[in-house]
Chain A
Amino acid sequence: MDITFYWITLSLYFISALLSIAYIFRREGILFKGSLAFTAFGFFTHTLSIVIRFYESSQIPITNFHEAVSFFSWCIILIFFSLEYRYRIGLLGSFILPFVLILLLSSSALPSEIKPLNPLLRSYWLGIHTVFIFLGNAAFALASGIGIMYLIQEKYVKSRHPGGLFERLPSLQILDEVNYRLITLGFPFLTLAIISGALWAEEVWGSYWRWDPKEVWALITWFIYALVFHVRLVSGWRGKKAAVLSIIGFASVLFTFFGIRFLIKGIHIFE
């Protein structure tokens, strides 16, 4: 049942991503509204799928990589909607929804059956730790999307021959503000995720920190975002440099999440 809803979600997001891409090329309100509507509907079925899975397995459904990626994309859409509600950055969907589709597509390729939980994971920490991580990661994903929009718009303004998406992208100031705000949102989540992870590790392995590759990369990511605060507050960086930094930060997030899983592995893989 949960899988049925999962596939419905995937098809809805597929349509919404196509519409949002079409909206880049054809400025028609119907494309924008359509893509929002399909996303909203998809978010609803996605939520259902997660809730059903929760009941069926009676454990928080972030126990394998398939579920993790799926929950990650759920968090992105959640924050996407609250941003859209607050700021109405019309083209944001065109930058974010295709990425969410790719995430969800890649999770669909991973084994999705519910397996008995690794005894190591049987803890209330599982829910706390993972929810913090993915809320943080989702905020960082949107920050980097906004950062890319900033760089594009900045290029237009600096070129002195603005064209293309210039008119439709929002002002540099608002992009910079939202970028910063998202990092301010994501950073505490990341921090809490690392702390809760350490506490949990102490419980199961008897030590807070073991320099596992995932831990190392999470720390690197944390430092990158800490650097964003530092340069913004102390050196008065903003705009282009801050946007680039937020994109680098998210690349590090992606590596921590995907890179470690597929390239390095380590004790932090539980499948």
Chain B
Amino acid sequence: MNIIVVGLNHRTADIEMRESLAFPGERLAEGLEGLLSTEEISEGIILSTCNRVEIYSVTSGVSDGGRRIKTFLSAFHGIPLEKLESALYTYEREDAVRHVFRVASSLDSMVLGEPQILGQLKDAYSKALAMKTTGVILNRLVKKAISVAKKVRTETRIAENAVSVSYAAVELAKKIFEDIHTKTAMLLGAGDMAELAARHLLKSGVKAITVTNRTYERAVDLSAEFKGRAVRWEDFLKEMLYTDIVICSTGASGYVFTDEQARRLMKERRNKPIFIIDISVPRNIDPAVNEIDNIYLYDIDDLQGIVDSNVLERKNEAEAAEGIVEKAVETFLVWERSLEAVPTIVEIRNRAEVIRREELEKIINKLNGMSEKEKKMVETLTASIVNKILHPSLAMLKEEIDPENRATYIYLVRRLFGLDSEEDIGEDN
């Protein structure tokens, strides 16, 4: 019984390789089926995202499960093994457990602490559940991985701050305005970056977006995409009166919005706060504007600066997260070791013996005045009842159970005798 992870990610394989090994949704069932029909593989999950393809499996054999999975990958995708070899990594036992926990906690992600991976893992798991390709061990592994990931998320600040320019802009907007849902945004110019930022704002709930551009047609096209309104270039200053957030990227070579215009605007707005993001290079908005009360101006370098320091902070937090993962790996390994026959048999015997002793003492105390002989007889009686009840199940554990199912049997027996409870798994749903 052995946990094995085989896979590749954004560090070991380029996008082409990742694409060619991916399991798109419609082929996932087929993939899981193929994986499970591979010799000695008793459990399997396939995690396929744009940054990684990984196979989590349990092999019943002792050696070379990794090779079997690689061969399966190569055959499934019709790519010669030699071409794959350099991109694939293999983790076994403890290392495999640690890897799965780190992936779930987003410690192995391209963007440290990004939240999507946990959802992707949950999806992969539920697909595997639907196909019934998981068993006791992977069930526990994934559940534990999910709870570790949640713990990392709540106990460290690894997912705290924005690590992309667009998100950083949204975060800032939320510190200027209480409720972004009641605010409107305007695109001044229609560069790609501005478009991206506008999309993020819209996703974060901005009420409406207007677009203005030197060529009016482009503004109309883009505004249609955001279900917004197009405004003629000549009117943008007027429009700014009713806008809370402005994203500017016009490609002009000088300032399109000057200090003087800003002062006039604020007067007319009666100092209603306005958040201006100038992502154009060279800058299109006079930086002096930031000195005016209730105008908050950020340029692309400011936003990048925020992102950089947030990335650094996430790296620091990652250390704490690794500690949490390490602890969880240990707990998991303890549990995994308990899935062996001998310690389980000993535990069951001990538990039965404790119960027998307690009950025996009770009855002897109640019937005080029992002779030594009588006590001995009751003692023998109880011992033999316990033994007879336990015998068949313990005998079954001792026998050579089919290794494919051993973990399941032992797990079941442990649950039946109350050695493990569901809480030990650390589920928190």
Known: A157-B296, A162-B306, A238-B294. A172 touches B175 (CB 8 A): yes
Instruction: Kindly state the separation between the CA atoms of A161 and B306 in the bound complex, as whole angstroms.
Output: 6
Does A167 interact with chain B (Cβ within 8 Å)? yes
Give the residues in chain A near B161, CB-CB below 8 Å.
167
Q: Which residues of A contact B273 (CB under 8 A)?
A: 172-173, 238-239
Could you tell me which residues of chain A, from 153 to 212, have a CB within 8 Å of some CB in chain B?
153, 156-158, 160-163, 166-167, 169-174, 177
Q: Nearest 8 CB-CB pairs, A to B?
A: A236-B270, A160-B302, A173-B178, A174-B178, A171-B178, A236-B271, A239-B294, A173-B177
User: Are B290 and A171 in contact, with the CB atoms below 8 A?
Assistant: no
B207 CB, nearest partner CB in chain A, Å: 15
Q: In the assembled complex, how far is the CB of residue A112 from the closest CB belonging to chain B, in whole angstroms?
A: 43
- B contacts with A, residue count (CB < 8 A): 21
A268 CB → nearest B CB, Å: 38
- Say if the beta carbon of A33 comes within 8 Å of chain B: no
With beta carbons under 8 angstroms apart, the residue of B178, B293, B306 that contacts A239 is: B293
Given contacts A236-B270, A236-B271, A171 and B293 within 8 Å (CB-CB): no
Q: A236-B271, A239-B293, A240-B293 are in contact. Are A171 and B177 (CB under 8 A)?
A: yes
Contacts of B293 on A, CB cut-off 8 Å?
239-241
Cβ contacts under 8 Å, B302 to chain A: 160-161
Knowing A161-B302, A172-B176, the reply to whether A239 touches B271 (Cβ < 8 A) is yes
Give, as a whole number of angstroms, the nearest-CB distance from B299 to chain A. Answer: 8
CB-defined A-B contacts under 8 Å, sample of 14:
A157-B176, A157-B296, A160-B290, A160-B302, A161-B306, A166-B175, A171-B174, A172-B175, A173-B176, A173-B178, A177-B178, A236-B271, A239-B273, A239-B293
Q: Which residues of B contact A157 (CB under 8 A)?
A: 172, 175-176, 296
Bound complex: CA of A163 vs CA of B175, how far in Å? 12
- Chain A 70-121 residues near chain B, CB threshold 8 A: none
Task: Mark each residue of chain B from 276 to 306: 1 if its CB lies under 8 Å from any CB of chain A, else 0.
Answer: 0000000000000010011010100010011
- Does chain B have a CB within 8 A of A223? no
- CA of A227 to CA of B294 in the docked complex: distance in angstroms? 20
| Distance in angstroms between the alpha carbons of A166 and B177 in the assembled complex | 14
Least distance between B86 CB and chain A CB atoms (Å): 42
Beyond the given pairs A156-B175, A160-B290, 10 more chain A to chain B contacts, judged by CB atoms under 8 angstroms and listed by A's residue number, are A161-B305, A161-B306, A163-B309, A166-B175, A167-B161, A169-B175, A171-B177, A171-B178, A172-B175, A172-B177
Bound together, the chains give a CA A178 to CA B180 distance in angstroms of 18
Residue B30 at the chain A interface, CB threshold 8 Å? no
Interface residue ranges of A225-271 to B (CB < 8 Å): 236-241
Q: How far is the CA of A171 from the CA of B290 in the complex (A)?
A: 18
B160 at the interface (CB under 8 A from A): yes
What residue of chain B has the Cβ atom nearest to residue A238's Cβ?
Answer: B271
A77 shortest CB reach to chain B, Å: 25
Q: Footprint of A on B, CB under 8 Å?
A: 160-161, 172, 174-178, 270-273, 290, 293-294, 296, 298, 302, 305-306, 309
- Min CB distance, A25 to chain B, in Å? 15
Say yes or no: A171 contacts B294, CB within 8 Å. no
Q: How distant is B178 from chain A, measured CB to nearest CB, in Å?
A: 4
> Which partner residue on chain B sits nearest A241 by CB separation?
B293
CA distance A241 to B294 in the complex (A): 10
A169 to B178, alpha carbons, bound, how many Å? 12
Chain B: CB-nearest residue to A237: B271
Which residues on the B side are within 8 Å of A167 (C-beta)?
Answer: 160-161
A158, A160, A237 interface centre (most CB from chain B within 10 Å)? A160
Whether the Cβ atoms of B175 and A153 lie closer than 8 Å is yes
Q: How far is the CA of A68 from the CA of B168 in the complex (A)?
A: 48
- Is the pair B160, A158 in contact by a Cβ cutoff of 8 Å? no
Q: In the complex, what residues of B have CB within 8 A of residue A171's CB?
A: 174-178
Residue of B whose beta carbon sits closest to that of A173: B178
User: How far apart are the CA atoms of A171 and B171 in the complex, in Å?
Assistant: 10
Residues of B within 8 Å of A239, CB to CB, are: 271, 273, 293-294
Chain A residues in 8 Å Cβ range of B270: 236
Within the complex, the shortest CB–CB distance from A200 to chain B, in Å, comes to: 41
**Smallest CB separation, A176 vs chain B (Å):** 8
List the B side residues contacting A162 at CB < 8 Å. Answer: 172, 175, 306
Which residue of A has the minimal Cβ distance to B171?
A: A167
A158 to B292, CA, bound (A): 10
Q: Which residues of chain B are near A174, meaning CB under 8 Å? A: 178
How far is B180's CA from A172's CA once the two chains are assembled, in angstroms?
Answer: 12
- Which residues of B are found within 8 Å of A237, using beta-carbon distances? 271
In chain A, residues 41-83, which have Cβ atoms closer than 8 Å to a Cβ of chain B?
A: none
Q: Which residues of B contact A172 (CB under 8 A)?
A: 175-177, 273
A236 vs B293: C-alpha distance in the bound complex, in angstroms? 12
- In the complex, A173→B294 CA distance in Å? 10
Q: How far is the CA of A238 from the CA of B269 in the complex (A)?
A: 11
- A137–B306 Cα distance when bound, in Å, is 40
- Whether A160 touches B178, Cβ cut-off 8 Å, given contacts A167-B161, A239-B294, A240-B293, is no
* CB-CB contacts below 8 Å: A109-166 with B: 153, 156-158, 160-163, 166
The smallest beta-carbon distance between A185 and chain B, in angstroms, is 19
